[in-house]
Amino acid sequence: MVARLFQIECITNLHVGSGDVNYNIIDNEVEKDPVTGYATMNASGVKGALREYFNKVSEKDVLSLFGGNKGEKTIPGAIKFMQADILAMPVRATLGKEAYYLVASEENIHNLIEKRKMLENVKTELVRKSADEKIKAEGITLNEYVELKGKRIYIIKNSDYKKLMLPVVARNKLDNGKSENLWYEEVVPHHSIFTFYALADDEERMGCFTNYVLDHVVQFGGGATVGYGFCKITAF
């Protein structure tokens, strides 16, 4: 089994709905991990978005890579997908030169390291560095950061991370200029970063999958017609 870690960087806001019925102020919440409570995309959603993308760029490889029915036979896909977990998200700066800073929780960083160790037998060394100046994001002091794929990701306590709220967008359905349905939708902000693992039967299949997705834009979740969910995929 070949495992490879991929990164999803949100170019636009993302909404992968939880599908739950709720009676809160927010009508449509994003999907969240049942253990951590952090934003996530379940494995079936990741696979579905990537399959749709392959239908456009390499339809001949869809059946072998993703599986499906061929006549009366069900063919298993050569690629297995794990859920995409949020690694970092942009948080508005309240002190410092930048408009925002990418922020991750201690737990996010720990989970990334443990997954790499378990699935790839890779011991990830993330060197923590001290911030160059006094900076804050939403009032939280950012003291340490790590560099991942050329980006600074500041690490904060789990308790502080859980206090950060995802943006909520008001949406409206109009009929001849008249409002028919106003609702509120939670989104994961653009510049957020997710990671997910793909598992392949062999290097050849993994190479085929990687060649088509690497550095390309794939649409995840709902709201494509209003520009939601356009993301760039890279690999570690």
Pairwise CA distance, residues 107 & 111, whole Å? 6
134-147 pLDDT, tens digit per residue, is 999 999 999 999 99
Longest Cα–Cα distance in the chain: 64
C-alpha span between 49 and 51 (Å, rounded): 5
Contacts of 84 (CB under 8 A, 6+ apart): 8, 40, 41, 46, 194, 195, 196
Query: Please, which residues have CB within 8 angstroms of residue 59's CB and are 6 or more apart in sequence?
Result: none
The mean pLDDT value for 108-119 works out to: 92
DSSP-derived 3-state class of residue 191 = coil
**Predicted TM-score (pTM) of this structure:** 0.91
- At 22 the pLDDT is 57
Q: Is 138 left (phi over 0), alpha (psi -120 to 50) or beta?
A: left
Kindly tell me if the per-residue pLDDT of 210 is higher than 80.
yes
What tokens were used for 121? Answer: 């037998």
Task: Return the pLDDT at 183.
Answer: 78
Residue 81: band (very low, low, confident or very high) from pLDDT cuts 50, 70, 90 = very high
pLDDT of 28 reads 82
pLDDT of residue 220: 98
